[in-house]
Structure 1
Amino acid sequence: NTHRDPIIDISLCISLINGGVAGLVGVTCVFPIDLAKTRLQNQQGVQVYKGMFDCLAKTVRAEGYFGCYRGAAVNLTLVTPEKAIKLAANDVFRQKLSKDGHLPLWGEVLAGCGAGTCQVVVTTPMEMLKIQLQDAGRLAPTQAAAAPGPAPSLVAPAARRPSATGITADLLKTRGLAGLYRGAGATLMRDVPFSMIYFPLFANLNALGRQSAGGQADVQAQAPFWQSFVAGCSAGSVAAVAVTPLDVIKTRLQTLQKGEGEDSYRGIVDCTKREGPSAFLKGAACRALVIAPLFGIAQGVYFLGFGEAVLGLLG
């Protein structure tokens, strides 16, 4: 004797559609910066790239403009369910934890924790594949620079460029399904704290200037577009920088092919011991520049109501 609330069902469908559209638009806009982040975080020893702009410039020279979008196909394919799960799960948890339209701070944090936990099922294999494709262009010049002889070329040989299907098939053949979920623990360690910081911070920034009858900020009220966008960017950048050390660990654990002289790691603890504290802030600026517009766009998409429009056409 089950009972399903049609209002919650409709709200969940709207959240899934909005989250999917937000992911597609956001990833398309910020993917080159995300590629630079991955390559900078994986650098050890030979410094092929001096920073984000140097990385992007060398990537364009060596691989063309579309080289900045290596791995984008995987991300665009899987980011729709990933962002849909993340944003929809947060909405559902917030509804369940709210009482009389009010959600305490502990409820906001708990809802973010639930959202971060749910998304890992898609995030881990998505980032596992994306990182291999993004980092492939870094490996050839790194290996060449470590070898004696003339100055290294920045161009990675086309024959060595992997494909998402090839990586997936190889991992499934050699390591089984667990191969695609390498670094799942580190992903969970990154995404749960991120969501616990991001969602409460966004909700309260988005409610600034609007008060409920009790005099508190009303997180349920509709904010103007610009406020939702700025709140998403601000909360995203703060949360992104806060968990950057965990993102560095995750990236390095999930990178299968290492350059000449670069370390391999047995696990999270082993990864934290190899380099000094400064290593854990590699790519922090890039990560903030990726996450800020990504979540600003996500909240903007929610404001514009693509999900409501789609369901209206279908209804």
Structure 2
Amino acid sequence: MSLYFSLPAKLINGGIAGLVGVTCVFPIDLAKTRLQNQQGCGVYRGMFDCLVKTVRAEGFFGMYRGAAVNLTLVTPEKAIKLAANDFFRNLLAREGKELTLFREMLAGCGAGTCQVVVTSPMEMLKIQLQDAGRLATQKVVTGEGAATIPHKPSALLIARDLLRNQGISGVYKGLGATLLRDVPFSIIYFPLFANINKLGQKSPNEKAPFYHSFLAGCIAGSVAAVAVTPLDVLKTRIQTLKKGLGEDTYHGIVDCARKIWKNEGPSAFMKGACCRALVIAPLFGIAQVVYFIGIGEYILEYFN
């Protein structure tokens, strides 16, 4: 099947994979954001402490703050990422030869660059919604606010205010940091997944078993996620608009890195690494299983 005809199926696969994966791991992603935004002595001692305090203060669905914008935009984001990687791999392939590691990395670089068009605004809005509860809890702990969450921000209101006050650049705040995180992630993830997944193939023309693709996605995802965690911390801090009491503000990637190193030490760059691995591993494991099973192909065949 040519790339032209398979592209719609790949987009469907990526979309379904994104929806299923995000629904499963979103609470851990929320904990990651809140832990990464803590400066100095924060209100959360770790992932489980963060989730327990979130449920107590905001209820069960408090763990899903920002999920709506993520579920809305994760479909095009995952679809673009997975389909773009296939596109670039096809473009860089030589007749009858396997891709070299360098060409696999180039394909991953292209995929990561393409997806940022959707990822950057999605992350920008999601982070504001996820971090609102942390700021409210911080006020309670410091005696600056009531023991309830007074206001639940809306993604539409945040987006409208940013567009009104700053234009399109407001929604794309942190674009450079997002590129700095997602391009290296894709450069690491896609070649690593392809080579691990290849170990489960009995022949070049056969697919690996679904469980092998799942494990390959989990392993490659967790390795890539941990590797780029320092860049994810920078991106999260830069994209967070509202800061807590006494927390630093940042004027770009270099300023952010310098202040974190000076005020919190090098260990701060790995905040949320465990959460990030726990989010990305099943997310990409699920994505690769859906993608390799070919649900999109079955759907298109059924309607044709």
TM interval, short-chain normalised? over 0.9
Q: Distance in 2 between matches of 1:135 and 1:35?
A: 8
Matched residue SS, 1:82: helix
Counterpart of 1:94 (choices 79, 89, 107) is: 89
Matched residue SS, 2:2: helix
1:195 aligned to 2:190? no
Structure 2 letter corresponding to 1:304: I
Counterpart of 1:183 (choices 170, 174, 196) is: 174
Change in CA separation of 1:282 and 1:207 when aligned onto 2, cut-off 3 Å: same
Q: CA deviation at 1:7?
A: 1.6
Counterpart of 1:290 (choices 267, 279, 292) is: 279
Change in CA separation of 1:280 and 1:307 when aligned onto 2, cut-off 3 Å: same
Counterpart of 2:249 (choices 252, 261, 264) is: 264
Q: Distance in 1 between matches of 2:146 and 2:223?
A: 37
User: What is the TM-score with the length of structure 2 in the denominator?
Assistant: 0.95
What stretches of structure 1 move > 4 A for 4+ residues in a row?
A: none
Q: CA deviation at 1:209?
A: 4.5
User: What residue is the counterpart of 2:112 in the other structure?
Assistant: 116
Q: Distance in 2 between matches of 1:155 and 1:303?
A: 45
1:304 aligned to 2:293? yes
1:155 aligned to 2:148? yes
Counterpart of 2:24 (choices 6, 26, 29) is: 29
The answer as to whether partners of 2:185 and 2:224 remain within 8 angstroms in 1 is yes
Q: Distance in 1 between matches of 2:217 and 2:200?
A: 16
Computed over aligned residues only, the root mean square deviation of the Cα atoms, in angstroms, reads: 1.4
The answer as to whether partners of 1:46 and 1:146 remain within 8 angstroms in 2 is no
Q: Distance in 2 between matches of 1:271 and 1:171?
A: 21
Q: Distance in 1 between matches of 2:152 and 2:246?
A: 21
Q: CA deviation at 1:38?
A: 0.2
Unaligned runs of 5+ in 1: 1-5, 213-217
Q: Distance in 2 between matches of 1:271 and 1:143?
A: 24
Unaligned runs of 5+ in 2: none
Render the CA deviation track for 1:239-259: whole Å, top value 9, x for unaligned: 000000000000000000101
Structure 2 letter corresponding to 1:274: K
User: What residue is the counterpart of 1:3 in the other structure?
Assistant: none
User: What residue is the counterpart of 1:222 in the other structure?
Assistant: 207
1:240 aligned to 2:225? yes
Q: Distance in 2 between matches of 1:127 and 1:281?
A: 19
Q: Distance in 1 between matches of 2:13 and 2:147?
A: 40
The answer as to whether partners of 1:137 and 1:155 remain within 8 angstroms in 2 is no
Q: CA deviation at 1:155?
A: 3.0
Q: Distance in 1 between matches of 2:280 and 2:147?
A: 28
Q: Distance in 1 between matches of 2:300 and 2:200?
A: 31
The answer as to whether partners of 2:138 and 2:244 remain within 8 angstroms in 1 is yes
Counterpart of 1:138 (choices 97, 110, 134) is: 134
Matched residue SS, 1:274: helix
Q: CA deviation at 1:143?
A: 2.7
Structure 2 letter corresponding to 1:127: E
User: What residue is the counterpart of 2:165 in the other structure?
Assistant: 174
Q: CA deviation at 1:273?
A: 1.0
Matched residue SS, 2:245: coil
Q: CA deviation at 1:211?
A: 6.2
User: What residue is the counterpart of 1:60 in the other structure?
Assistant: 55
Change in CA separation of 1:154 and 1:243 when aligned onto 2, cut-off 3 Å: farther
Matched residue SS, 1:262: coil
